[in-house]
Structure 1
Amino acid sequence: MRHLSPLRLGPSRPSAGLSAALGEAPWWSAAEGRALRTALAALILTLLLVTFEPYQAVFAGPAGSGNITNQLGYGGLGLAALLIHVCITPRQVAMRLLRPAWVVMALLLLLSSTQSIWPDASFRAVVFSLAAMLAMTGALCLVPDERAFRFALTVAALVVLGLSYTGIVLMPSAAIHNEALEAANIGLWRGIYSHKNVAGPVMAALCFAGLYLVRSGQWVTGVAIVLLSAFFVLKTGSKTTLGLLPLVAVLIFAGRVFGGRRLPVIVLGATFAGAALMTLGTVLSPVLYDLLQWAMPGTTFTGRLDLWRFAIHALGPQAWTGTGFEAFWSTPVVRHAEPPFGSSWDPRGIVNAHNGYLDLAIALGWPGMGFGIVVLVILPLVDFVRIGAQGPAATRVADFFLMVLAFTLLNAFLESFLFARGNPVWMTTWLAVAGLHLLPKGRTVA
């Protein structure tokens, strides 16, 4: 069974939802409705990538923590997206957004707040995270065709790059690290974002967007976005991003050349498994730790191994139920902990585990982390394989989504952003997950 998709990859034409909601009004032509939808999609996507706190001068933990601006902003976008899905999104597409696995994941996140010592704060954090995710699906469902999606993506990328480079030139104190607290980062670029480790991954996603635009024939804007974003990545000094960016591009493009849709998925799956074993696996298994030290003597991932050991030990009996969404790192058990002797990190000043999968386990327990991997890794890869033969446009869009997904999933082994409300790196991840699901399929995906 073939599903309709909001990302139409054939000739431009108004969708059924648009015709029903706007196109039949005598004062509103289909072309005007299409232009309005595209403009709204570009606005939502831009707001989600720019965030409501550009040029935040000091890295203060998870984006949007207790901030009324973020709460109103993402809450408003979530409500707007809900109206979009009710009034404009075709019913069959809206029903696809109720993917059972997504619904269960949302319920797990909401239920996790009951495990928190501050259930109200955790519940509020989950609600605003879901609102931001809903807003991203709204942007995807607004675009009437692939050309409109490219326009929205181009606008968002150019705004992020324009504001970031403007900050470097006109507001260097806000756009360049200069805090004595993180002396090693002084002079590194962060643009409109709170930290170089946020700026780097977002710029990598924009670089992939530029490659997608080049492949679609938009040479001028595509090349400009690739060069500007790649140079920005270089100036962030983010070693993880600098290593993953070319690796992911080569993996996806080479896999597509030699093996169609299945080979990139197989290679990415093997890479993901290897990264899991050689990062988080090394603090769970002495054998894997010895293997890591044999292959790369002295490797600690900048001290992260000590932090991961502390977190797993501190979880104790809650390892299977979790401690609640965004709650663990501000609990007394962490704030009043004695730093382990010889540890590279003092956990009392840490805001996350610097490993998105471990933070997911901390919030939801090991079973919850496992289900999160199903939602974020397994199902999107299945979606990619099952995308129908819709022509070169579908191939280009799918490859773009897969590159973004591969990069962010691998980056999450060393940084925490999964399901983080208002975090633009998470927004790019969810863009890829939702985009792959909404693309036309050759057959129904569960």
Structure 2
Amino acid sequence: MARDMPDWMRVLLNGAVLVVLWNHLWFQDLASRSLLEASEDGSAPTQATFAILALAMAAALRRLGPERLRPLATWPLGLCAGWLGVTVLASIEPSLSIRRAMLLAIAAMLSAGLLVVARSPRQFALTLGGSALVILLASYAAVALVPNLAIHSGFDVNSDPSHPGLWRGIFPHKNEAGAAMVILVIVGLYVAAAASRVLGWLVVLLAAGFLVAAGSKTALLLAPVILAITALCRVFRGTLSRTLLLLGPVVVFSLVSIGSVVVPAIQDRLGAVMTDATFTGRNEIWAFALDNILIRPLRGWGYGAFWMTERTMYAGSEQLSWVNTANHAHNAYLDTALMMGLPGLVLTLVAVMLMPLRDIQAVAGGRDLDPATMLFVRLWFLGLASASFETVLYNGNNATCCMFMMAVFGLRLRTRNRLAPD
């Protein structure tokens, strides 16, 4: 039988989950030579943290009633999860895939649980705002007090000539910091609309300032695009217009990324208008990923069993030596095909691209988007757009992935159970 939870327990649990999902590796030393080694064992502190939060969230869901998550049991999500399970068992490293898939499952449960544990939109917004301030104030303090652990330098083992001086705060890399700041800008706008203008705009300003200092090109590019496109969804409310608005940019980003490798004409055109048509060497990684997708096109290599493993890092390819040390493909669609094969990619696109689009129209077809739905739409669109340049799908260690899952779940729950008023 479902029972109530006191507000302090709800806020404490959700706050802890949000902080961990946004960043669970504080103050990583990028000068450590251990970062050059294969990482098949994973991080013990990360595993312990997620395990503790999983137990706490499971207890909360049991107390509140797990049937509240029943609307998430849809056939697209079920098929996606089922195929992921098949490819985990068929992995070239089954034990490695199983361990990493367990972390993903925990992250998915935590992302969904946030929506159930929150008592109301206002409580959810205030918890988001408070958690955002923890991340932001800690990051600014880190830059001021321990700059060697919060600012990129030439001593980083994988240092890029353009990285020294860029802020990363408590995050492992400036790109992760940039992605988190975009999330916090979106969160701040929701907080301002649903709970507190002062707190919300404070989060927005602090996150935007840190985003500029981090200098993450992808995040700086995507932030205005996401805000502009989702704002237009308030104006154009029809199914066709919203579909074109939300999926059109995703198609364009895929064409300029993967298309630059597959179609030479696209590369030539990009080279005429861009100073870095190689996307800082990512096209070499994309070409390497495409070659390996074709080796195992149906079932893939297995979840988490390709990058940063001994098979990839020490494969002996001198021409691609730096590519072999990449920790992901910098493209979520390619990484999905690498892990789950082409069938897994198709199922994923149906489950996390087409079905949420249908849910958006089911919740707000022909009408304006309320603050909660707008939050989910922005986070969902952020995930889809980021996927062309970063690995943000099926990555439980990634803040954008966790917020993307929360958005997908949130849109589904909104079609069945509108959030309770304050």
Is the TM-score greater than 0.5?
Answer: yes
Q: In structure 2, what is the equivalent of residue 226 of structure 1? A: 204
Deviation string for 1:12-41 (max 9, x for gaps)?
Answer: xxxxx8xx413xxxxxxxxx7244323322
Residues 64, 70 of structure 1: 8 Å contact kept: no
Select which of 52, 61, 64 maps to 1:85: 61
Q: In structure 2, what is the equivalent of residue 124 of structure 1? A: 99
Select which of 332, 336, 339 maps to 1:356: 332
What is the identity, as a one-letter code, of the residue corresponding to 1:312? L
* Offset of residue 339 of structure 1: 4.1
Q: In structure 1, what is the equivalent of residue 315 of structure 2? A: 336
CA distance in 2, matches of 1:429, 1:374: 15
What is the identity, as a one-letter code, of the residue corresponding to 1:415? E
Q: In structure 2, what is the equivalent of residue 27 of structure 1? A: none
Q: Does 1:405 align with 2:380?
A: yes
* Offset of residue 85 of structure 1: 2.6
Q: Closer, same or farther in 2 for the Cα pair 1:414/1:339, shift >3 Å?
A: farther
Q: Does 1:57 align with 2:32?
A: no
Deviation string for 1:193-245 (max 9, x for gaps)?
Answer: 11111110111010011112222352211111111000000011111111110
Residues 207, 225 of structure 1: 8 Å contact kept: yes
Q: Closer, same or farther in 2 for the Cα pair 1:433/1:290, shift >3 Å?
A: same
CA distance in 1, matches of 2:168, 2:201: 22
CA distance in 2, matches of 1:333, 1:253: 43
Residues 386, 442 of structure 1: 8 Å contact kept: no
Q: In structure 2, what is the equivalent of residue 110 of structure 1? A: 85
CA distance in 2, matches of 1:44, 1:64: 25
Q: In structure 1, what is the equivalent of residue 361 of structure 2? A: 385
CA distance in 1, matches of 2:83, 2:135: 33
CA distance in 2, matches of 1:387, 1:64: 42
Residues 377, 407 of structure 2: 8 Å contact kept: yes
Residues 38, 148 of structure 1: 8 Å contact kept: yes
What is the identity, as a one-letter code, of the residue corresponding to 1:386? A
Instruction: List alignment gaps of at least 5 residues for structure 1.
Output: 1-16, 23-31
Q: In structure 2, what is the equivalent of residue 207 of structure 1? A: 185
CA distance in 2, matches of 1:261, 1:39: 39
* Offset of residue 262 of structure 1: 5.8
Deviation string for 1:37-70 (max 9, x for gaps)?
Answer: 233222322232232x211222949999611111
CA distance in 2, matches of 1:389, 1:105: 26
Residues 23, 399 of structure 2: 8 Å contact kept: yes
Q: In structure 2, what is the equivalent of residue 151 of structure 1? A: 126
* Offset of residue 100 of structure 1: 2.6
CA distance in 2, matches of 1:333, 1:132: 26
CA distance in 2, matches of 1:110, 1:373: 17
Q: Closer, same or farther in 2 for the Cα pair 1:162/1:395, shift >3 Å?
A: same
Q: In structure 2, what is the equivalent of residue 29 of structure 1? A: none
Deviation string for 1:328-378 (max 9, x for gaps)?
Answer: 1225355224244xx7x7222211111111111111111211211222221
Deviates more, 1:352-361 or 1:262-271: 262-271
Residues 355, 416 of structure 1: 8 Å contact kept: yes
SS at match of 2:288: helix
Q: Closer, same or farther in 2 for the Cα pair 1:64/1:212, shift >3 Å?
A: farther
Deviates more, 1:357-366 or 1:279-288: 279-288
Q: Closer, same or farther in 2 for the Cα pair 1:259/1:421, shift >3 Å?
A: closer
Select which of 145, 152, 163 maps to 1:170: 145
Residues 42, 139 of structure 1: 8 Å contact kept: no
SS at match of 1:204: helix
CA distance in 2, matches of 1:426, 1:173: 28
* Offset of residue 284 of structure 1: 2.8
Deviation string for 1:73-130 (max 9, x for gaps)?
Answer: 1122223333333331362x22113233223222222222233332101111001111
Deviation string for 1:120-168 (max 9, x for gaps)?
Answer: 0111100111111101211111011111111111121111111111111
Q: In structure 2, what is the equivalent of residue 45 of structure 1? A: 18
CA distance in 1, matches of 2:40, 2:172: 11
Residues 237, 366 of structure 2: 8 Å contact kept: no
Deviates more, 1:257-266 or 1:230-239: 257-266
- Cα RMSD of the aligned pairs, angstroms, is 2.8
Deviation string for 1:251-305 (max 9, x for gaps)?
Answer: 1112313436763442111111121122113323345445544665861111111
Select which of 327, 347, 351 maps to 1:375: 351
What is the identity, as a one-letter code, of the residue corresponding to 1:204? V
Residues 122, 194 of structure 2: 8 Å contact kept: no
Deviates more, 1:257-266 or 1:247-256: 257-266
SS at match of 2:168: coil
* Offset of residue 316 of structure 1: 3.7
What is the identity, as a one-letter code, of the residue corresponding to 1:66? G
CA distance in 1, matches of 2:256, 2:340: 22
What is the identity, as a one-letter code, of the residue corresponding to 1:132? A
CA distance in 2, matches of 1:78, 1:442: 24
Identity rate of aligned residues, in percent?
29
Q: In structure 2, what is the equivalent of residue 416 of structure 1? A: 391
* Offset of residue 190 of structure 1: 0.9
CA distance in 2, matches of 1:238, 1:297: 16
SS at match of 2:3: helix
CA distance in 2, matches of 1:174, 1:230: 21
What is the identity, as a one-letter code, of the residue corresponding to 1:213? V
- The number of residue pairs the alignment matches comes to 410
Instruction: List alignment gaps of at least 5 residues for structure 2.
Output: none
Q: Closer, same or farther in 2 for the Cα pair 1:99/1:72, shift >3 Å?
A: farther
SS at match of 1:184: coil
CA distance in 1, matches of 2:326, 2:103: 22
Select which of 210, 216, 226 maps to 1:248: 226
SS at match of 2:225: helix
SS at match of 1:174: helix
Q: Does 1:236 align with 2:211?
A: no
CA distance in 2, matches of 1:385, 1:64: 42
